[in-house]
Structure 1
Amino acid sequence: MARIGLVAHDDKKDELVAWALANRDRLSRHELWATGTTGGRVADGARLALTRLKSGPLGGDAQLGAMIAEGRLDALVFFVDPLTAQPHDVDIKALTRLATLYDTLFAVNRATADAVLAAL
Structure 2
Amino acid sequence: MRKKKTIALVAHDNRKSDLIDWVEYNWKELFQHNLVCTGTTGSMVKEVMDKKCEDNNLIPPSITRFKSGPLGGDQQLGALIAEGKVDIFIFLWDPMQPQPHDVDVKALLRICALYNVVTATNRSTADFIISSELFHKDYKPAIIDYSSYINRLNK
Q: TM-score, normalised by structure 2?
A: 0.74
Correspondences of 1:37-56 after superposition (within 5 Å): 37-47=40-50, 49=61, 50-56=63-69
Q: How big is the shift at 1:66?
A: 0.8
Q: SS in structure 1 opposite 2:116?
A: coil
CA contact (8 A) 2:39 2:68 kept: yes
Contact 1:18–1:46 (CA under 8 A) maintained in structure 2: no
Q: Structure 1: any 5+ residue segments left out of the alignment?
A: none
AA partner of residue 123 (structure 2): R
5+ residue gaps in structure 2?
51-59, 136-155
> 1:78 aligned to 81, 86, 91, which one?
91
What secondary structure sits across from 1:23 in the alignment?
helix
> Post-superposition shift, 1:118?
2.5
Distance 1:73 1:46 in 2: 19
Identity of aligned residues (%): 49
Q: Distance in 2 between matches of 1:114 and 1:108?
A: 11
Taking the aligned partners of 2:82 and 2:37, their CA distance within structure 1 comes to 16
| Equivalent residue in structure 1 for 2:110, among 78, 97, 106 | 97
Using structure 1 for the length normalisation, give the TM-score: 0.95
Q: After TM superposition, which residue ranges in structure 1, 4 or more long, deviate above 2 angstroms?
A: 45-49
